[in-house]
Amino acid sequence: MKNIVLFCLLLVFCGWLTAAPAANTLLLKDSAAVSDNIVRIKDIALMDAPTRDRIGNLVIAAAPELGKTDTILKREIYEKLVGNGVESPQLNGADSVKITRNGTAVNPSFFKEMILAYIVKNSRWKDGVQVEIASSKDIVIPQADENNIRWQLMPANGQDFLGNILFKLQAFSKTSNEEIYSNWLVAKLKIMKSVPISNREIRKNQPINESDVRWEVREIDAFTKDAILDKNELLGEKAGRMIRPNSVITAGLLEKKYLVYRGATALLVAQSNSIKATSTVKVLADGGYGDSVQVMNVSSQKILSAVVTGKNQVEVTVQ
C-alpha cells in the first residue's frame, strides 16, 4: 500500500514538473517609457527569466511620437500575443498600459543659422551666404531632453567654405557635459557676391581704373573664390597678367602685392570654436592675401604655417 501511495505522489510530482513551463504568466505595468519606435512585451510587462527569453522581444505596438503618450489595452496585448503563437497567455495587473516615448527629435534645418554664423565669423564671406542642409530626416536622440542639450558644430579640415561642406555635429548634456550624440552633417553653401568684371582687355602692368570694370552679383565658385570684393583693393592696382574681357577679376590676376614681409613682425590671430587669441610672430617669408607663410612665435620660437589675411596680419585655425 505504501508503495502505491509513493507511486501516485511521484506521478503528481512529475505532472507538475512538465506542466509548469507551458504557462506564460505576465504582470502588466501601469505605465512604461520607451526610447525606440516600437513597443515590445518586455517593455510593458514583468515576467520570469525563461519567459522573457522566449517572448520578451515580441512587438506589441508602434510607439507614440517623441514626447507623446499612448495607451495599450490588456485585450489588445492578449490578441497580439496569441497572434504571435503564444499559447494561453495569462495577463495579470493593469487593464491598460500607458506608454510614453522619451527623447528629442531635431530637424536638420535647425542648424542652418548656426552654420551661417560660423561661416560669417570664420571666413571672408560676411554676407551673401545661403545655407541649405542636405538631409531633411529628423535627428533623433533617445532619452534626451531638448532643454538639456548643448550643440557643437565644427567643419572637417581642409575645406574652403564653397559648395558642400562637411560639419561634425555633436550634442552634449548640459548637466553632465557628456557627449550624447555625434554624426556628420552636410551643408550646401551658395555664395552670392558683387564682383568686378572686366569691360575690356586689360594688359599686363596696366593700372586698372573705374571705366575698366563693372560690378555684377555672381555666384562664387572654385575659380572665383579669390575675387576682389572691395573696389578700394582694385582701383589703381596693376594687372599682373593680361585680363580678358568679361572676366571676373581675382587677386591672382593682379600684380603681386605683399601684405607681410620676411623678417617683419605680424599679428597672429588663432581661432578655435568661439575662442580667439592673438600673439606677435616673426614672418619668415613674403606673402600676399590668402598666401600660406611660415611664422615664428616670438616668445616660444615655435614655427607654424599661417594664412595672410591683411596687412601685417596672419591667421591660423586650431581644430
Q: Kindly report the number of other CB atoms within 10 A of residue 8's CB atom.
A: 10
Q: Where are the domains of the chain?
A: 23-101, 105-189, 192-253, 265-317
Q: Mean of the per-residue pLDDT values for the chain?
A: 88
Percentage of the chain lying above the pLDDT 90 cut: 65
On the question of pLDDT at 166 being above 60, the answer is yes
Q: What is the pLDDT of residues 241-270, one digit of tens each?
A: 999 999 999 988 999 888 899 999 999 988
pLDDT value of position 71 = 95
CATH topology of domain 23-101: Thiol Ester Dehydrase; Chain A (3.10.129)
| 16 pLDDT more than 50 | no
Residue pair 57/125 in contact (Cβ under 8 Å)? The answer is no
Strands 313-317 and 265-272: parallel
Q: What is the pLDDT at residue 305?
A: 92
Lowest pLDDT segment from 117-131, 132-146, 194-208: 132-146
Q: Which CATH code is given to the segment(s) 192-253?
A: 3.90.1210.10
- Provide the pLDDT for residue 145: 81
Place of cell 580678358: 244
Q: 119 by DSSP, 3-state: which? A: helix
What SS3 class is residue 17? helix
Task: Report DSSP letters for 47-96, one per residue.
Answer: --HHHHHHHTT-EEEEPPPTT-EEEEEHHHHHHHHHHTT--SEEEEE-SE
Per the CB < 8 A criterion, the answer to whether 61 and 80 are in contact is yes
Which pLDDT score is estimated for 274? 61
Greatest mean pLDDT among 133-137, 206-210, 294-298:
206-210
146-150, 218-222, 281-285 — which is least confidently predicted?
146-150
CATH of domain 265-317: 2.30.30.760
Amino acid at 303: I
Contact 195, 215 (CB under 8 A): yes
